[in-house]
């Protein structure tokens, strides 16, 4: 055995039966990477069935430069589905007159459904040979007597049936099923066929041994370390899955003979390439093959071109006909007979159900067969051949073969026989009770046998192009009414009678489906015709040698051939693969003679498996689209490209190769240069290679050859110069902008013909990430691992923002593969990232998801976390998805404590963040959106931070409404103040919630300590084994109810929690110990005088509380174990007291704790709906009317000052007055003037100075003098627009932009 193919021996089992060795086919492949496709070849072969494979082999043996294009994928033994659901995934179905089909266009099982005929064919490298029954029967000689065959063909029958047939036999090696194969007795189905043959022979008065024989099979029954082309092959193990795909390698599919022979002699093969049409280039006497590559389906699937002197179609009856019909529609002069004389080959299917003998009716999974041994045998082993009766015409000629469906259709097969149509009893009155019992318990199926038959229909069908889906469909009305099918039914009924079973016809021909549709439908696996051979274009499409006619004449098109089942001019009445192969061998023999080629049939060169081996290391590929402008001469045009970058060794690319090189293929559109898309070949890409002479700079280069449809070549050279601009930014604009130069010719030494600049749009960048595929491995873990590693290398933190493939590389178990993340449910909403720099030069991050016109709403995360909490993908719907689905413009804020930013390890405090971060973030949103104000939601520390910024006057007039989640400005801890005092004693700079399985002894000790402490501080039901969970509990308290988290969320807490600096922890400790928001040094700068007996009488206190005169929803989990809900209650009551007319709301979430209100698995049902009405109420900009004092305001606060006041106190007092308000020194007297009364209420400020509030009110009650049509009197007006006094006597004061903010902690 050659190359890297290995084997394992299993020579004896317990019964002494020997089983074949099993080669490992995984490392070996025939197809070349698509990036190796060149722009021109001597011969292009389309399709890889019997015709295409033979053409490629023989052209390569003639020393020609050969390219084979296959629409499907490459399948190797071991790849084929054996489970029903996996098989369904590999089904593609096209229905006549329907635009969209089912499944992927490269899936293995290709089903085309037409009104009267359904066609099932294989799609993959090897064509239908991958899923056929591998039978090599000859046509009966009477078939060739039909004058529909060209005379030159009939004159050449001797060579055709000897020389050409021998060449096929030498490659496909047909062999009858051996007696005692695998030391087994006669297969049960072979014994059943013998019974059936005897019964039919008695009826027809024939000798049964003259009609029953074994069929020649393209199956290997001996272990071979190396077959005749160099491929190792085991012996058949009788699994019966021939028609589902052979997973052992025993079946002689074309990728075991002709295709590796073609590769050994230099042919190149490319998969997932769908040819659309062919055009002629008369100037160069060559052909253009127009194709699309299905490796770029995420973007526009553009047609590209490969050129050749000779084009050979071997895409099968439907495929070749489709291509020629499309080509004719595009102007190629071809015969009008394309599509005519289609035949189903008389295919018919029937079943004997619930007979008297067990038969092993369906295939078995390979592992089960290896274990239990008793498989059903190959799909077909015997034939009752009714073709050689000289007294019968061809219409009564048929073959009847045993059939074994693959295990992948086991369940539907059982269902059909047991429940859909259990058939007609052919032996009524015999063993009825026994038959009924087997049927009742489901064992009747085990005594069943499928029959496959071929006969002779009238070959009058037509293949037509379906304009809706671009594929051909079969027009063959009443084909099932043909006499030949009734003859076959009679034969199947006789065979069933011999087996004492129930006859069940094909449900589409004579069963339930046929009755419902009132049509006898035919399912064929042997479609023939459509491009038939004939004497001229008046009667057919090609001549006897497969060469295409020019129109309806006898003139031939140079270099265009068809050599597959499409050229058959009539029904063959038998399995057609051998005849198709013989015709292809003959066509290649004649082509070589005509063109002077020398096909080296004597060559014994075998494939070198070491050269065909798949690289042992995973590769990767992704597709990129860039758009922009290109200038060519004095022309400028919108231009773009769609390119796939591919490497066969991703580890080498990102770790070892300094240039990080890969290959490129795709297309470029430059209308100023060519009206058609330019096809890329010989493309080379380098990713982040170091720039020569530029420090801290890397380059991404694109170099490739472009070929136009006219045959002109150009050299494309593009460079992205990438500079890392800051600690956070990796240069998105750099990585998405390409400077392009275009040269005439095949390198950059030619004249420059064009220049331009292309860039990546964000929506295309998102698609690009979704196209990343890890190749050369079947392991899901390996694919995910390398996709994530490449993503981290490629985009750094941008991958974290945009990516869908995996988590960051800080996993709980660093040796475990990163988990796969689900894509966010955002429809077409594309995230946009904004970098924000604060006045103290800290870089923050805003990520926008513009889900609608509501908002904008900013979400602010907690300490030691990040905005990830709002986009957690381990729940059904996260908060971001929820808000976007409701039409909100959502902005995720990452402030300096975010674990996504480098700043989170710096010694900052809430004071710093309140002063710099929140104002900068808010201003950025206002700048980008143009909105006058925004909505904000803060979670825990984020809420506390927003209150600090509000109370310091940093956000005046900019916040429309606020949701305070879990905590506000009163911070009563839940018996856990120590939990934020202890951690910073353990580590000098702070504490991290992150730990992993590779931690050292110190870390393990700390983990154990934290686990013990966490267990002691929580109920038994809340204990777990997650070390991150333990650390979180000790750092912050019990943040969630375990039952509220999904398992995935709990297992991946390391994604949400990280390092929290000691400065933040100490600041929080101060707030906890004081029970309210204080500065980092413990001073009461945010709520001065709040603890006075009458705080409402304090100027400084009221100055701060006036900043909170905006709608606020206070919400917390009812079971919050971090903050006592009375802190939220107190914050709510203080706001209501200070601003009684404002819309303050108080809600709780029963059953929820702290952070589980955001990341809980059912938060979308229990918590988020509580937020929505409040957000919707203030969803529009301007929905909250800001208070502006009116001229000659009738309700004005006035101050009486006694004693000395500091400048600060005077400033506070002054900024509380309006334009027409004044400060008066009063002695508590009462004034009357202008019909108003003034009442004085004595108090003092925080410096001990006495003052009085003067409340002006019109006698007989207060009156609002604002115009009736003003916002104040609008039904939508917010309560806070009415500046009334509260019942308690506190003033309702308008907010003033002139109120001095707190600039520094005092």
693-713 pLDDT, tens digit each: 444 456 778 999 999 988 899
Tokens representing residue 531 in the block: 């491009």
* Residue 696 CB coordination number (10 Å): 10
For the sheet containing 1144-1149, what is the strand order?
832-837, 843-850, 888-894, 854-860, 934-939, 959-965, 1112-1117, 1144-1149
Give 26-61 as a DSSP string.
Answer: TTB-SSPPGGG--SEEEEEEE--SHHHHHHHHHHHH
Q: Is the model's pLDDT at 1274 over the cut of 60? A: no
Q: How confident is the model at residue 993 (pLDDT cuts 50, 70, 90)?
A: low
Q: How confident is the model at residue 1056 (pLDDT cuts 50, 70, 90)?
A: confident
Closest CA to 94 of 109, 107, 113, 118: 113
Instruction: Please tell me the predicted confidence (pLDDT) of residue 349.
Output: 94
Q: How far apart, in Å, are the Cα atoms of 1089 and each of 936, 963, 1105, 1244, 1247?
A: 27, 25, 11, 10, 10
Instruction: Please tell me the predicted confidence (pLDDT) of residue 1125.
Output: 86
Q: How confident is the model at residue 1231 (pLDDT cuts 50, 70, 90)?
A: very low
598-609 pLDDT, tens digit each: 999 999 999 988
Q: What is the mean pLDDT of residues 931-943?
A: 94
Q: What is the mean pLDDT of residues 546-550?
A: 98
| 563 vs 1283 pLDDT, higher one | 563
What is the largest distance, in Å, between two alpha-carbon atoms of the chain? 135
Rounded to 10 degrees, the C-alpha dihedral 583/588/589/592 comes to: 160
Q: How confident is the model at residue 576 (pLDDT cuts 50, 70, 90)?
A: very high
Q: What is the mean pLDDT of residues 1291-1304?
A: 34
CB 116 within 8 A of CB 474: yes
Q: How confident is the model at residue 264 (pLDDT cuts 50, 70, 90)?
A: very high
Q: Is the model's pLDDT at 65 over the cut of 80? A: yes
As a whole number, the mean pLDDT across the chain is 81
CB 431 within 8 A of CB 356: yes
Q: Is 1028 helix (H, G, I), strand (E, B) or coil?
A: helix
Using the CB atoms, write b or e for 492-519: b if 16+ within 10 Å: bbbbbbbbbbbbbbbbbbbbeebeeeeb
Instruction: Please tell me the predicted confidence (pLDDT) of residue 735.
Output: 57
Least confident of 323-337, 429-443, 507-521, 1131-1145: 507-521
Q: Is the model's pLDDT at 1229 over the cut of 50? A: no
CA 1085 to chain centre: 53
Q: What is the pTM assigned to this prediction?
A: 0.69
Q: What is the mean pLDDT of residues 877-904?
A: 92
Q: Is the model's pLDDT at 522 over the cut of 50? A: yes
Q: How far apart, in Å, are the Cα atoms of 152 and each of 38, 145, 162, 881, 994?
A: 37, 13, 16, 70, 81
Query: What are φ and ψ of residue 1055, in 5° steps?
Result: -75, -25
165-200 pLDDT, tens digit each: 999 999 999 999 999 888 777 899 999 999 999 999
Instruction: Please tell me the predicted confidence (pLDDT) of residue 980.
Output: 40
Instruction: Please tell me the predicted confidence (pLDDT) of residue 705.
Output: 95
211-226 pLDDT, tens digit each: 999 999 999 999 999 9
Q: What is the mean pLDDT of residues 791-806?
A: 45
Instruction: Please tell me the predicted confidence (pLDDT) of residue 925.
Output: 96
735-788 pLDDT, tens digit each: 567 899 999 999 999 999 999 999 888 778 778 877 888 887 777 777 777 777
Q: Is the model's pLDDT at 1054 over the cut of 80? A: no
Least confident of 145-159, 556-570, 1063-1077, 1161-1175: 1063-1077
Q: How confident is the model at residue 1015 (pLDDT cuts 50, 70, 90)?
A: very low
| 1026 vs 1160 pLDDT, higher one | 1160
Q: How confident is the model at residue 1025 (pLDDT cuts 50, 70, 90)?
A: low
Q: What is the mean pLDDT of residues 540-560?
A: 97
**H-only helix segments in 596-710:** 609-612, 650-651
In sequence order, what are the beta bridge partners of 117?
522
**H-only helix segments in 1062-1153:** 1062-1074, 1099-1106, 1125-1138
Q: What is the mean pLDDT of residues 638-647?
A: 91
Q: Is the model's pLDDT at 952 over the cut of 70? A: yes
Percent of residues, the chain, with pLDDT higher than 70: 78
CB 382 within 8 A of CB 213: yes
Least confident of 362-366, 443-447, 457-461, 614-618: 614-618
Instruction: Please tell me the predicted confidence (pLDDT) of residue 826.
Output: 87
Instruction: Please tell me the predicted confidence (pLDDT) of residue 726.
Output: 37
Closest CA to 836 of 917, 905, 935: 917
């Amino acid at each position: 055995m050659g190359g890297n193919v290995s084997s394992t021996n299993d020579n004896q089992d317990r019964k002494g039966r020997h089983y074949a060795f099993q080669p490992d086919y995984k490392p070996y492949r025939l197809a070349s990477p698509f990036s190796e496709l060149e722009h021109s070849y001597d011969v292009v072969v389309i399709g890889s069935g019997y015709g295409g494979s033979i053409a490629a082999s023989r052209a390569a043996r003639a020393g020609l430069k050969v390219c084979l294009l296959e629409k499907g994928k490459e399948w190797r033994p071991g790849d084929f589905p054996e489970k029903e659901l996996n098989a369904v995934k590999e089904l593609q179905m096209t229905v006549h007159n329907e635009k969209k089909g089912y499944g992927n266009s490269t899936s293995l099982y290709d089903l085309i459904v037409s009104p009267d005929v359904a066609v099932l064919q294989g799609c993959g490298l090897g064509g239908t040979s991958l899923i056929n029954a591998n039978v090599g029967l000859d046509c009966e000689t009477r078939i060739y007597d039909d004058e529909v065959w060209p005379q030159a063909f009939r004159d050449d029958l001797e060579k055709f049936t000897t020389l050409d047939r021998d060449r096929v036999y030498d490659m496909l090696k047909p062999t009858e099923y051996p007696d005692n194969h695998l030391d087994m007795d006669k297969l049960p189905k072979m014994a059943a066929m013998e019974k059936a043959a005897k019964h039919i022979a008695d009826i027809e008065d024939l000798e049964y041994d003259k009609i029953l024989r074994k069929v020649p099979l393209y199956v290997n029954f001996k272990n071979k370390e190396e077959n005749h082309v160099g491929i190792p092959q085991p012996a058949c193990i009788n699994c019966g899955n021939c028609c589902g795909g052979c997973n052992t390698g025993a079946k002689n599919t074309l990728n075991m003979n002709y295709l590796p022979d073609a590769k050994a002699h230099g042919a190149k093969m490319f998969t997932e390439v769908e040819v659309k049409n062919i055009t002629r280039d008369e100037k160069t006497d060559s052909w253009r093959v127009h194709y699309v590559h299905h490796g770029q389906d995420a973007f526009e699937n553009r047609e590209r071109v490969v050129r050749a002197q000779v084009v050979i179609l071997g895409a099968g009856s439907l495929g070749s006909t489709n291509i020629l019909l499309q080509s004719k529609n595009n102007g190629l002069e071809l015969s009008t007979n394309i599509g005519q004389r289609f035949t189903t080959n008389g295919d018919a299917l029937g079943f004997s159900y619930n007979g008297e003998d067990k038969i092993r009716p369906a295939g078995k999974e390979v592992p089960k067969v290896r274990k239990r041994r008793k498989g059903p045998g190959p799909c077909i082993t015997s034939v009752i051949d009714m073709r050689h009766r000289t007294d019968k015409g061809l219409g009564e000629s048929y073959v009847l073969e045993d059939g074994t469906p693959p295990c992948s259709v086991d369940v539907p097969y059982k269902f059909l026989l047991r429940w859909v149509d259990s058939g007609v009893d052919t032996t009524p009155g015999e063993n009825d009770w026994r038959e009924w019992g087997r049927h009742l318990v489901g064992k009747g199926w085990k005594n069943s046998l499928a029959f496959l038959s071929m006969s002779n229909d009238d070959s009058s069908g037509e293949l037509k192009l379906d304009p809706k889906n671009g594929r051909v469909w079969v027009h063959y009305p009443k084909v099932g009414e043909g006499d030949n099918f009734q003859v076959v039914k009679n034969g199947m009924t006789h065979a069933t009678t011999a087996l004492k079973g129930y006859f069940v016809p094909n449900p589409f021909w004579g069963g339930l489906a046929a009755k419902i549709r009132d049509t006898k439908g035919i399912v064929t696996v042997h479609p023939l015709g459509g491009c038939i051979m004939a004497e001229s274009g008046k009667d057919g499409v090609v001549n006897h040698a497969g060469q295409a006619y020019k129109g309806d004449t006898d003139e031939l098109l140079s270099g265009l051939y068809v050599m597959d089942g499409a050229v058959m001019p009539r029904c063959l009445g038998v399995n057609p693969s051998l005849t198709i192969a013989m015709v292809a061998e003959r066509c290649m023999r004649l082509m070589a003679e005509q063109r002077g080629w020398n096909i080296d049939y004597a060559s014994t060169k075998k494939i070198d498996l070491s050269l065909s081996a798949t690289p042992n290391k995973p590769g990767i590929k992704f597709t990129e689209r860039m758009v922009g402008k290109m200038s060519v001469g004095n022309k400028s045009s919108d231009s773009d490209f769609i390119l796939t970058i591919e490497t066969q060794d991703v580890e080498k690319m990102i770790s070892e190769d300094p240039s990080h090189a890969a290959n490129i293929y795709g297309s470029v559109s430059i209308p100023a240069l060519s009206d058609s898309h330019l096809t890329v070949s010989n493309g080379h890409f380098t990713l982040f290679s170091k720039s020569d002479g530029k420090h801290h700079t890397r380059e991404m280069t694109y170099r490739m050859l472009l070929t136009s449809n006219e045959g002109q070549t150009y050299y494309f050279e593009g460079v992205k110069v990438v500079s890392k601009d800051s600690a956070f930014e990796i240069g998105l604009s750099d990585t998405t902008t390409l400077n392009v130069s275009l040269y005439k010719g095949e390198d950059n030494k030619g004249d420059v013909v064009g220049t331009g600049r292309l860039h990546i749009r964000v929506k295309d960048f998102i698609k690009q990430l979704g196209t990343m595929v890890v190749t050369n491995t079947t392991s899901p873990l390996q694919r995910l691992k390398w996709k994530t590693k490449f993503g981290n290398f490629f985009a750094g933190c941008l991958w974290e923002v945009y990516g869908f493939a995996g988590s960051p590389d800080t996993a709980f178990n660093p040796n475990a593969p990163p988990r796969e993340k689900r894509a966010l449910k955002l429809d077409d909403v594309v995230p946009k990232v904004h970098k924000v720099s604060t006045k103290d030069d800290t870089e923050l991050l805003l990520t926008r998801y513009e889900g609608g016109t509501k908002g904008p709403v900013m979400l602010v995360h907690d300490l030691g976390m990040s905005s990830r909490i709002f986009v957690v993908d381990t729940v059904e719907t996260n908060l971001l998805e929820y808000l976007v689905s409701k039409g909100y413009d959502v902005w995720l804020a990452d402030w300096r404590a975010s674990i996504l930013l480098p700043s989170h390890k710096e010694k900052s405090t809430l004071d710093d963040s309140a002063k710099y971060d929140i104002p900068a973030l808010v201003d950025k949103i206002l700048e980008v959106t143009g909105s006058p104000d925004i909505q904000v939601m803060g979670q825990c520390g984020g809420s506390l931070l927003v209150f600090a910024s509000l109370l310091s006057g940093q956000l005046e007039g900019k916040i429309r409404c606020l949701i305070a989640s879990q905590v506000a400005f009163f911070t009563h801890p839940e018996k856990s103040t120590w939990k934020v005092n202890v951690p910073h004693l353990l580590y000098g700079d702070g504490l991290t919630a992150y730990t992993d399985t590779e931690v050292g002894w110190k870390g393990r000790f700390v983990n154990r300590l934290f686990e013990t402490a966490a267990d002691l501080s929580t109920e038994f039901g809340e204990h777990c084994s997650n070390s991150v969970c333990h650390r979180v509990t000790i750092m912050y308290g019990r943040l969630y109810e375990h039952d509220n988290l999904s398992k995935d969320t709990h297992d991946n807490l390391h994604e949400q929690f990280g390092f929290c600096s000691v400065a933040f922890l100490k600041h929080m400790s101060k707030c906890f110990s004081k029970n309210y928001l204080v500065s980092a040094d413990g001073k009461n700068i945010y709520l001065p005088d709040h603890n006075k007996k009458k705080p409402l009488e304090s100027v400084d206190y009221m100055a701060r509380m006036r900043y909170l005169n905006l709608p606020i929803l206070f919400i917390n989990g009812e079971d919050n174990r971090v903050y006592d809900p009375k802190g939220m209650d107190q914050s709510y009551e203080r706001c209501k007291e200070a601003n009684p007319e404002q819309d303050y709301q108080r809600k709780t979430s029963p059953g929820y704790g702290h952070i589980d209100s955001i990341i809980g698995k059912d938060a979308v049902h229990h918590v988020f709906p509580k937020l929505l009405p409040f957000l919707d109420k203030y969803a529009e900009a301007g929905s909250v009317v800001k208070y502006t004092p009116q001229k000659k305001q009738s309700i004005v606060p006035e101050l009486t000052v006694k004693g000395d006041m500091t400048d600060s106190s005077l400033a506070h007092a002054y900024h509380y007055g309006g334009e027409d308000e004044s400060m008066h020194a009063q002695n508590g007297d009462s004034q009357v003037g202008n019909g108003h009364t003034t009442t004085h209420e004595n108090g003092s400020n925080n410096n001990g100075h006495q003052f009085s509030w003067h409340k002006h009110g019109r006698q007989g009650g207060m009156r609002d003098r604002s115009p009736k049509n003003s916002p104040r009197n609008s039904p939508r007006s917010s309560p806070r627009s009415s500046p009334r006094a509260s019942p308690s006597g506190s003033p309702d004061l308008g907010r003033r932009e002139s109120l001095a903010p707190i600039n520094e902690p005092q």
